[in-house]
Structure 1
Amino acid sequence: MTQRTDLPFLRRRSLRPPAPPQAPVASAPVASAPTATPAPSSVPPAPASTSLDLSGPPPAAAAVSAGTSLDLSGPPPAAAAVSAGTSLDLGTSTPATASAAAPPPSQTSTSLDLDALAGMPQAPAPRTSRHALPPSHDLQLPTIGSDERRILTDREPVVHLTRLQSAAGSLEVRVAVATPSEVALGFVFETGDRRESVVLPGLSQQGPDPRSPIFRATTSGAAINLRRVSDVHRFLLFAVPTRPSKQMPGGTVALTTYAGARLELPLVAGPTFGAQALLTGHVVEGRIVIRAEHDPYSGTLQQICGAYGYTELSWRDAFTPLV
C-alpha cells in the first residue's frame, strides 16, 4: 500500500490527550449541629446516636448528643438532662415531669358524694307544735300569788297574771251589790285576726264562737275561758245599770282566778249615761295584763266601746250591738 504524502497534517493529528487522573476526593464529614456545652458533671456524655428516640425525656444531668437514630429503649434515669439533638421523642414523661404537670387534687371539691352525705350525722328537725310557748320577757309588772287578795287602786291599777294563771281554768267575774240584778256585766273584745265582738247577757252570740265561747255573760256574772285565750288580743269589761234611771249602784267587782287569787275593783255609785268601763285586759306573750281604768266618765255602750278603740262594730241602737 502506497503511503500518501499529500496529507501530512493527518499524520500530526491525534486524539486529545486524556485528562490526568485526579486523586480521589474524600467525602466530607457531615457537620453536626453545635451542641450546648454541658455543665461539669461526673456523668460521661452519652454517645451519638442516629436512631429515632421514642423514649421519655432524657435525664436532666447528662447531655445527650444530637442524633437521628430511633431509640426504642425505656425511659432514661431521672438524673439525665435534655439534649439539644434532633431526635423525635415519642416516649412518656418522666415521673418528675408528670408530677409537676399534673395539678394537685383540689381540697375544695364540689362533687356530690352521696356516700359521704349518707354517713354524716343528720341534725334533728325542729319540733313544731301548736302548743309551743311564745317568747318570754320580763314585763316588770306586779303579779299576784295564789289565794292572794288585792285591790286595784288608782296608784296600783295594773297586775299581770302568770302563764299558769292565764291558761288554767277560767276567770270568773262577779259584782257584789245590794241587788245583783241591778248591774249587768259584759265584754267587748278583739281577737288575734282583728275581729271585734260584744258579749252581753241576753244576746244569743257568745264570742267569738258560740259552740265554744271564750267570753260568756249571764245575769249572774261573766267569765273568760282561758283554754283559748291565746286567740284573744285584748278585751274590755264594762257594767251596764239596769235601772230605768241609769243609776249605778255602789259595790265591788271581783275577778277570781282558777287558783283562788282575787282582784277587786270598787264600783262607784252615781248617775251614768248607760254604761261604765271597769277594766281592760291585754294578752302579752301568753299572759294576761289587767288594768283597772277608774274612768270617771260614762256614756252609751256604743260610745264606751268607741272610746277604747273598738270601732269595727255594727249597732242596732246605742245600747244594742248587731250580731
Structure 2
Amino acid sequence: MIPAPGDAPARPDLGWLRHRTRRVPVAAAPAPVAPYAVAGQGGSGSTTGLADFLAGRTTRRQPAPAPSVQVPGSNRADGPPELHTREVPTPGAADPLDLGTSAADPLDLSAPIKQPVPQASPQPTPPPAGGDLDLGSSDLDLSGPPPVAAPPAPAPPASSSLDLFPEAPAAPPARTPVARPRPVARQVPRVPHGGRVILTPREPVVTLDRVQSGVGALTITAVCSPAVGDLVLGAVYQLADGSSGVVSRTAGVPTAPPRSRRPVLEAGRDEHDQIRVDLRQTRSLRRFVVHAMSASEGQLAWGGTLVITTHGGSRVEIPLDLAPHAGPVVLASVHAVDGEFVVRAELDPVHGLVRDVALAHGFRAITWADARTPVL
C-alpha cells in the first residue's frame, strides 16, 4: 500500500533538497523555538544549521528562526521535527546569497505578492514657444505645402503722446441738393372789362369772369364778307340735367331747349349769322361748341373773324384763317366752370355733317333722323 504524501518517511540524507509543503490553516499561535546554532555546536537546531551550511544557504550565524507551526493531524514521533513544521519568513531577514528564500525565485509560492506600484502618467511636452504646434513639416502631413499667410495689415500711424486733438478722418463732401424748378401753373388770361383779347394757336384759351358770364347775354357773331359763301352758324349743347341738342336755322331748330319759353341758346341772323346765350341761365348750361358750315354743303373760302361779345362790351376774337374745306368746322368751345365761362379757340375741321360734329366732341345723347336733322 502506497503511503500518503504526508505520511511518507523523511529523508535526512537529502537535506540540501528544498521541500515544498502544503499550506495548512494555523490552529494556534506558534510557540517560540530556540535559535539555530552554528554548525558544529549542539542544540536542537544543529542538524538544520548544518544542512543549511552544507547546502550553501548560510555562512554565519542565523537570526532567530521563524516560529514553527505544528501541522495538525501529525503526531508522529519518529523522524526529524522539521518535516512537521513550516517556516514563516521574517521580513527583511533574507540573505543575499540565500537562493531558497529569494523573492525573485519564480518557484517560491510562499513569497508575498507585490502589488504593482502605479506610475504617474508622463506630462505632455509643452509646444515650443512662439506659436502653435507646427504640422507643416511633419511626415504625416498629406495636405501639401502649408498655405501662405496673408501679410498683416499695416498698423495705423501712432499719434504723438502730446497730441491732445488728433485729426478726425475727413468726412465725405456733403451732396448739395439740386434745386429743381417747380412747374409753374399757367394762368389762363382773363378778358378785361371793356377790353379785347385775340385768341391764337399759341394762346387759345381765355376766361370770362362771373360778371361777364352772368349778366346780360353773350353774343357769338361770324363777321365774314359775302365772298366767303353761304356760311351759317350752329351749336351743339349739353345742359346741366344731362340733356343734349342742336341749335341751327338750317336744321329747323332755332332755340334750345326746343319749344322752350325761356331758351338758353338761340340762333338768328342780323347783318351776320349769330347765336345768343342767355346768361341769366348760366347755371343751366354745362357746355356747348359753335360750328360753321355751308348752307348748301359746298366748299367755303374761309376768312373773317368769330367775335364773342359780353354785355359790358368786352370782346374775344378768333381769326378764321383756314384752308378751303367742304364740311363743318368747329370754331370755338365754351365750358361753364364754377359760374365762369372758359372760351377756347378750336378751328377743327370735321368731315361729314352736324351729326359728325356732335360725335367728334362727345355729344352722344342725341338721336338723329339723318346726318343733318336731330330727333326732337
TM superposition score normalised by structure 1: 0.54
**Cα distance in 2 for residues equivalent to 1:259 and 1:206:** 24
Report the AA paired with residue 256 of structure 2: G
Map 1:185-224 to 2 at 5 A: 185-202=233-250, 203-204=252-253, 206-208=255-257, 210-219=260-269, 220-224=273-277
Deviations 1:13-61 (A, max 9, x none): xxxxxxxxxxxxxxxxxxxxxxxxxxxxxxxxxxxxxxxxxxxxxxxxx
**Cα distance in 2 for residues equivalent to 1:262 and 1:148:** 6
How much does 1:244 deviate? 4.8
Corresponding position of 1:176:
223
How much does 1:305 deviate? 1.0
- Asked whether 1:312 is paired with 2:365, we answer yes
Corresponding position of 1:157:
204
**Cα distance in 2 for residues equivalent to 1:257 and 1:169:** 8
Deviations 1:235-288 (A, max 9, x none): 111112224523243111111011111111112344434211011111111111
Deviations 1:189-209 (A, max 9, x none): 111111001000152451125
Corresponding position of 1:276:
329
**Cα distance in 2 for residues equivalent to 1:251 and 1:241:** 15
Paired residues of 1:276 and 1:299 also in contact (CA < 8 A): no
Instruction: Point out the structure with the larger strand share.
Output: 1
Report the AA paired with residue 255 of structure 2: Q
**Corresponding residue SS for 2:220:** strand
How much does 1:148 deviate? 1.0
**Cα distance in 2 for residues equivalent to 1:248 and 1:188:** 23
When residues 204 and 239 of structure 1 are mapped into structure 2, their CA distance, relative to the original with a 3 A threshold, is: closer
- Asked whether 1:234 is paired with 2:267, we answer no
When residues 224 and 248 of structure 1 are mapped into structure 2, their CA distance, relative to the original with a 3 A threshold, is: farther
Corresponding position of 1:75:
none
Paired residues of 2:234 and 2:267 also in contact (CA < 8 A): yes
Paired residues of 2:328 and 2:349 also in contact (CA < 8 A): no
**Cα distance in 2 for residues equivalent to 1:268 and 1:276:** 12
**Cα distance in 2 for residues equivalent to 1:144 and 1:318:** 37
Any gaps of 5 or more consecutive residues in structure 1? 1-137
Deviations 1:150-207 (A, max 9, x none): 1110011111110111000011111111128721111111111110010001524511
Paired residues of 1:274 and 1:298 also in contact (CA < 8 A): yes
Q: Which runs of 4+ in 1 moved over 6 A?
A: none
When residues 186 and 288 of structure 1 are mapped into structure 2, their CA distance, relative to the original with a 3 A threshold, is: same
Corresponding position of 2:68:
none
Report the AA paired with residue 192 of structure 1: A
**Corresponding residue SS for 1:315:** coil
Paired residues of 1:256 and 1:262 also in contact (CA < 8 A): yes
Any gaps of 5 or more consecutive residues in structure 2? 1-184
**Cα distance in 1 for residues equivalent to 2:297 and 2:328:** 13
Name the Cα RMSD after superposition. 2.1
Paired residues of 1:272 and 1:299 also in contact (CA < 8 A): no
**Corresponding residue SS for 1:295:** strand
Structure 1, 190-199 or 174-183: larger mean CA deviation: 174-183
Report the AA paired with residue 208 of structure 1: P
**Cα distance in 2 for residues equivalent to 1:309 and 1:238:** 14
Higher CA-based Rg: 2
When residues 143 and 298 of structure 1 are mapped into structure 2, their CA distance, relative to the original with a 3 A threshold, is: farther
When residues 294 and 237 of structure 1 are mapped into structure 2, their CA distance, relative to the original with a 3 A threshold, is: same
**Cα distance in 1 for residues equivalent to 2:224 and 2:349:** 19
Paired residues of 1:172 and 1:257 also in contact (CA < 8 A): yes
Structure 1, 253-262 or 181-190: larger mean CA deviation: 181-190
Structure 1, 144-153 or 240-249: larger mean CA deviation: 240-249
